[in-house]
Amino acid sequence: MLRYAKMNGAGNSILVVDERGAPPALTGDTARALCRGPLAFDQLMALSDGPDEGAIAVRIFNTDGSRAGACGNGSRCVAWFVAETGGGDAVVLDVDGTRVSCRRDGPLRFTVDMGPPRFGWRDIPLREAADTLNLDLGDALQDAGLERPAAVSMGNPHAVFFVPDAEAIDLAAVGPRFEHHPMFPDRANVSFAEVRGPGEIRLRVWERGAGATLACGSAACATVAAAALRGLTGRRARVLLPGGELAIDWSAGGPVLMTGPVELEHRGRLDPATGGTAPW
């Protein structure tokens, strides 16, 4: 059986499963089955032996079984898990070939280097060349009563809408429309950002493959990067999500650093074939 930890990062529900030392067994089908049971999650972080001794390989699954290219809140939870199982207070993750560095700042607080934001239309990716800071999504914008969003990649695609009142958005009605918009061939994480000042943003997120979520770390990073380039905020901001608060710091020309909390809910051992659990 595999060790697991059911956690959350600023409310983002995370399941960390440790496959190190054994052949990877978790699949998209496993993720879909587990998310309907007592281990329900927004993202599943499957740890396995890395390509070298300096990194731990991580595969990220959404609730629909699809793979994600980044999960900032999940990365903090993985860093806690590694630290608690003897791996030290700094860890490097290998997510599909991309290196993600994490460090412990306190007992339940971690910082993740999320890498630089990318705004090129091929990097996001988009279906065709476009102004990514003011993305024209055609009639869908008028139908939803929204202004043009910014499109950003933080290792996964994001559409960030700046709105006067984030709470007024019906996520379940609007989110899927833009997650599946034809402009995004790989779908998109859809964020609704209310700028409350030069250093504070209220954010709600419809997450690709998971739906409405209490927090999304990569979306918080994408939002601050887009807001800074639009002149709406500085490069440092507090992002207030339904599940908690994240501190985002984007140095000019450099990576986005995300700092926030983690919480352990429970842990045990998991049989991936049956979904059965036992004490750890």
Residue 248 corresponds to which tokens in the numbers above? Answer: 């985002």
pLDDT at 152 over 90: yes
- 165-191 tens-digit pLDDT: 999 999 999 999 999 999 999 999 999
Q: What is the mean pLDDT of residues 47-71?
A: 93
pLDDT at 48 over 90: yes
CATH code given to domain 139-254: 3.10.310.10
Catalytic residue annotation = 71, 216
Q: Please report the pLDDT score of residue 160 as a whole number.
A: 98
Angle between helix 217-229 and 72-82 (nearest 10): 130
Query: Given pLDDT bands bounded at 50, 70 and 90, which one contains residue 273?
Result: confident
Q: Where in the chain is the domain with CATH 3.10.310.10?
A: 2-115+262-278, 139-254
Q: What is the mean pLDDT of residues 24-53?
A: 92
Q: Please report the pLDDT score of residue 172 as a whole number.
A: 96
Q: What is the CA radius of gyration of the chain?
A: 18
Largest CA distance in the chain: 53
pLDDT at 53 over 90: no
Fold of the domain built from segment(s) 2-115+262-278: Diaminopimelate Epimerase; Chain A, domain 1 (3.10.310)
Among the listed residues 70, 71, 91, the one whose alpha carbon sits nearest the alpha carbon of residue 79: 91
Torsion of CA 61, 213, 160, 228, to 10 degrees: -100
